Amino acid sequence: MAPAFLDIEITNGFFERSLYYEWREIHDFDCKLMGSELRAFRKIFNNIQKKELVPYLDLAIKKFNDAEERHNLEDALLDYWTGLETLFIRDNSPEKQYRAVLRIVTFLGRTKDERGKLYDLLKKSYSYRSNIVHGTPREIRRMREDRFKQGQVVGGTGRCLRSAITKFLEADEDIDMQKLNIERLLAERGLGKKK
């Protein structure tokens, strides 16, 4: 079962995936917002009305929308990661992938269990992304052998980007990536400094 933070909050039902996670057509539906969904929507709408979207958030939303229209899982994954990197990496450091994963997990994960599952998902997802962009034909073939698992990873990455965009839109002020407490996550994963 997916952690609660991966649930689609407001826009549940826009897209469905088949058993093999290939894209289906967009279905018309009536969306009724209730309770916390309505409050979240109002907050996001009011925040958008009050301020102009910062370029990195605007680009992340564009890449999310592009990914949702893709028919190819690999293209969608590249769009999702462009959106995530736009939100979580604002420099050109050589440790970009490692810091992006740590920041995303810290930002989205509410419990130790959620952070662990999210960490594993994003490490696998970034590995797929790297294989698409830099991999040898053999690595790409191996990745494509299990389309169901690839679909799960791509879908999970998309839900992460959707959740991150939602949290950015709900925030009353700009989120400082430097202030995210990644030390707790490092300790939980056994990656922190030894005392």
Q: What is the number of residues in the chain?
A: 195
Is residue 66 within 8 Å of 46, Cβ to Cβ? no
Q: What mean pLDDT is reported for the chain?
A: 75
Whether the pLDDT of residue 78 is over 50: the answer is yes
The predicted model scores a pTM of 0.72
Burial class (CB in 10 A: 0-12, 13-18, 19+), 190: exposed
Q: What is the pLDDT of residue 176?
A: 74
Among the residue ranges 10-14, 27-31, 186-190, the one predicted with the least confidence is 10-14
- Decide which of 138 and 15 is more confident: 138
DSSP annotation of 54 reads: P
Spatial separation of the C-alpha atoms in residues 151 and 155, rounded to whole Å: 6
